[in-house]
Amino acid sequence: MTRITAAAPGAGAKGTGQRTGRAGMASAWALCALLAAGVAPARAATAEAQVAREYRAQAALDIGADGSITAIGLSGEVPATLVAPAREAIAHWHFKPPVRGGRAVTARTYVRLALQVVRQTGGNYGLRAVYRSNGPGLAFPVLPEYPRNELRQRGQGSVVMEAIVHPDGTLTDIHAASHRINHPNPGAFIQSAEAVMRHAVAQPEQVDGLPVATRIQVPFVYALNSISRSEALSRQANRDAAPKAPGDVSPIGETVALDSPVQLIAGPPG
């Protein structure tokens, strides 16, 4: 974990954190200063840390033939002040490089990760990079439509889609690998997930400077959670207000590469 420190701003500064007593105010001011004024690397973290904020991100990583990271391209919901410490944390990861012709070669892969700002003792904050998965880069410009008839019938469930990302970035062999739906006919949910996959934008992984094909799986969750039947029917009646995917969490889960040429073998201690 990369440790970062921040002093409370002066009397003229304005904070945005919620103030709940003096201790809460100090923490809020410190976090505000951390995100607004920048962060400075310090000693390694020691005690247990409490997560104060988490950001989802994706990193394009160039991997050397020795498995070390030679370049990091970071994207996602990452504040500018956290980019440098995030790069520092990710740089400690080590991968098993691909082998071609009996020798290890360079590679490029795309990592899904979480960046956690953690509260430590002494009023300091640290940044922890949590690895989720790696494989081709994948973006979904089209979100799942919740099948309208399933809204009426309170249908819910999950679908795992599978596809091949080709060297030119196209996806083929798109199909449902598995599903768990509370209705006998899961067709509407599978069609919804297929539509999302057909519009996906992919960046293929690379081996020795050349793009390669990778088979992937993408889970989809269709959950109404606490939405009432009357609310579901109201959303169905109004096309503009119909939910892309009801619920409080993203309907698209973590992409998993089934045959990525690159595997993480060591990361920083949690």
> Residue 192 belongs to what H/E stretch?
helix 187-198
The CATH fold assigned to 138-254 is TolA/TonB C-terminal domain (3.30.2420)
Give Rg (Cα) of the chain: 22
Count CB neighbours of 263 within 10 A: 13
Domain boundaries, the chain: 2-135+262-266, 138-254
| 106-151: pLDDT as tens digits | 999 999 999 999 988 888 889 999 999 999 999 999 999 999 888 8
- State the CB neighbour count (10 A cutoff) for residue 2: 24
* Residue pLDDT, tens place only, 219-237: 999 988 644 555 555 555 5
Give the global pTM: 0.75
Cβ(59)–Cβ(71) below 8 Å: no
